[in-house]
Amino acid sequence: MTSIPLGFFDWIIMLVYFAFIAWIGFYLKKFTKSDDDFFLAGRRNSMWVCGIAFMSANMGSMEVIGYAGQSVKYGLYAAHFYLIGAVPAMLFLGVFMMPFYYHSRIKSIPGYLKARFNESVRVFNAGMFVVNMILVSGIALYLQALIFHTFLGWNWDLSIWLSAIFVALYVTLSGLLSAMFTEIVQFFLIWAGILILPILGLADIGGPAEISANLSQGFKTLWSTSGSPADNPMYVTWGGLVLGLGFAIAFGYWTTDFLIIQRAFSARDLRSARMTPIIGSYFKLLLGAVVVSTGMIALVLINDQSSGFNLLIENGKTNYDSVLPLLMQRYFTPGLIGVGVTSMVSMFMAGMAGNMSSFNAVWTYDIYHSIINKNASPQKLLHVGRIATVAGIILSVVGAYIARSMPTVIDYLQAISSMFLSPSVAIIILGMFWKFITPKGGLWGMLCGTIIAVALFIAQEIKLIPVGFVIPGFSGADSQSYMAANFWRAVWAWLISMGTAVSVSFFTKNKTDEELRGYVKGLVDKNEKAVDKAAWNKKPEFWAAVTLVIFIIINILLW
Amino acid sequence: MNTEKGMKSIWYFVGLIMFIIGIIVFAAGVYDLLNPTAKNIRLAELHTNIWWGALIAVVGSIYILKNKNKFAGE
């Protein structure tokens, strides 16, 4: 493998990018005066600012570089991460859940859990979120270092620390404000770098028809081969996809992960907050089309011996994450290479800034302010938030070394989601839509779901149980079933959390209706009842319905 | 973005960076056209850097022109 040759113009583009992002950090510092500015970006943003920042926080290295690699590994099945694994949950958040989050004027998801349940549920959820964020940030740092190291020939350790220091600099200066500001700038740069890739790829292989002509049924359809695990490259059934990915993991990520929902909290009004994930859903569909088609183009090229295209092989193992950089190397001329590398750096920066701005908010409000110093002044919280950012990034460097030891980062990422997000979504959704669930029910549900999911993962990793142990009726080889095991582990964690929460609620004391008012459906306050007087074509429900129709059409066309 | 009066609109910054980067990519394409060097790049004959760079610069300039006098929240 030779490194991508960066020319004079490519270096200029990268320098301009870094200088611009650093300058924005300093420019915004003078507008960051209160803790609300730092943690919620002033809470006066339009739906477009929130929607694009929401999507940009999701467009990290894993979602673009990682899933392009997954498209080579799993063919069109990778599109499920952008379809059933995203769209229904995003729409549910915008249409049904956002009013509860927004009206409760909370500063974080654990903050909602305190209001709905009690302090213990809040602290436990905050602790899980902090661990989750460190591990996920570690993966992002590792992927960035992998790109610098493998494709630019930079020293591995140096590139990881340089990336970490740069993110620490601009998130520490102005928190969510600069994180969102730069996320929006980076959003456009990412598109500038990746949108052209499938266009060139299709021109190279001879058009979309070549994809269909050169791939087997299992690699080019979404559902028709999901009846039996042996018929598709992901070794998963439709049940695992719908329940595991579509519900337990997707709802866990899109409706309860504070990393992305924090952007919606910064909206100027409820309609903007509700529109945030709905606007994001359109970009998610477009991103899926670009990323998956790029991966499938690579698959066609790999199958064609005469193309001369192959993925990177390291220690005898195929590095699927090398797809995007290798295709850039194949097609990008001088200048474009600079945009391509800047685009990959932007993915990392946007993702990391998102991770760190949500990490510092949860640490500061839900752990420091809740347990360590209950009387801290707003200025003290601002100071703690900045220190938390630096500490979080140092811990992420440790997480990067853990990620480096894992076989594939996407399997690892989904494993993390199955352990930490799935129990949260079970309890938040139960608590939001059913007043019967008591504080102790919520706590024990979350606790049991998490402990069992973590225990199952550890037992699998130390080979106490086979990978397929959690998959109903699975009889294939362990190496085939990692992703399916992640989906099903999430389902079990979700079911155990729900079952425990309901069972414990039968025997424990609940809050009064008055205490739950505004936090549970059916106990609405006057704000929640306020009628949205916007025209029909400006209502979130209308735009959510449009996305849903597009989603259904795509699934039928690619069935 | 609307945190304090006096803060430039985010869309102005988007336009600025897109315009600058688009111009550099375009310039790289023109330089490459005038000083061709042997490279093993597929579809190099399409000179993607010229038209893609121009397109990015045009998008950037539209954002700059539409937002140059606007402040956050306007």
Alpha carbon of residue A22 to chain centroid:
25
Tell me the per-residue pLDDT of A435-465, one tens digit each, with 9 for 90 and over: 999 999 999 999 999 999 999 999 988 888 8
Measuring CA to CA, which residue among B34, B23, B37 is closest to residue A339?
Answer: B23
**A259-298 pLDDT, tens digit each:** 778 788 888 888 999 999 999 999 999 999 999 999 999 9
Using CA atoms, how far apart are residues A355 and A131, in angstroms rounded to an integer?
11
Contacts of A163 (CB under 8 A, 6+ apart): A141, A144, A145, A148, A348, A352
Rg (CA), chain B: 17
Tokens of A375: 């009387």
Task: Give the CA dihedral A129, A131, A132, A136, nearest 10 degrees.
Answer: 140
Query: Which 3 state secondary structure label does DSSP give A481?
Result: coil
Tokens 């779901």 locate to A449
CA gap A259, A354 in Å, rounded:
6
Structure-model confidence comparison of residues A423 and B4, the more confident one: A423
Which chain A residues contact residue B42 at CB under 8 A? Answer: 200, 204, 330-331
Determine contact: B43 vs chain A, CB below 8 A.
Answer: yes
**Residue B68: Cβ within 10 Å count:** 13
Task: List beta partners, residue A318.
Answer: A313
Q: How far apart are CA A17 and CA A345, in angstroms?
A: 10
Q: pLDDT higher for A537 or A31?
A: A537
Average pLDDT, chain A: 85
Q: Is the dihedral of CA A39, A45, A49, A54 positive or negative?
A: positive
Query: pLDDT digit string (tens) for A351-396?
Result: 787 788 788 888 888 889 888 888 888 888 888 888 888 888 889 8
Give the one of B13, B24, B42 whose C-beta lies nearest to A13's C-beta.
Answer: B24
Residue pair A443/A121 in contact (Cβ under 8 Å)? The answer is: yes
Do the Cβ atoms of A17 and B28 come within 8 Å? no
Which two structure tokens, joined as six digits, stand for A486?
Answer: 């992640």
Task: Tell me if A503 sits within 8 A of A450, measured CB to CB.
Answer: no
pTM above 0.95, yes or no: no
End-to-end CA distance of chain A: 37
Q: Least CB-CB distance to B43: which of A31, A180, A203?
A: A203
Q: Higher-confidence residue: A520 or A480?
A: A520
pLDDT band for A466, please (50, 70, 90 cuts). confident
Of the candidates B16, B20, B28, the beta carbon closest to that of A335 is on B28
The answer, yes or no, to whether ipTM is higher than 0.85 is yes
Q: Quickly list DSSP for A201-232.
A: HHHHHTSHHHHHHHS-HHHH-SSTT-SSGGGS
Q: Position of tokens 């009206």?
A: A103
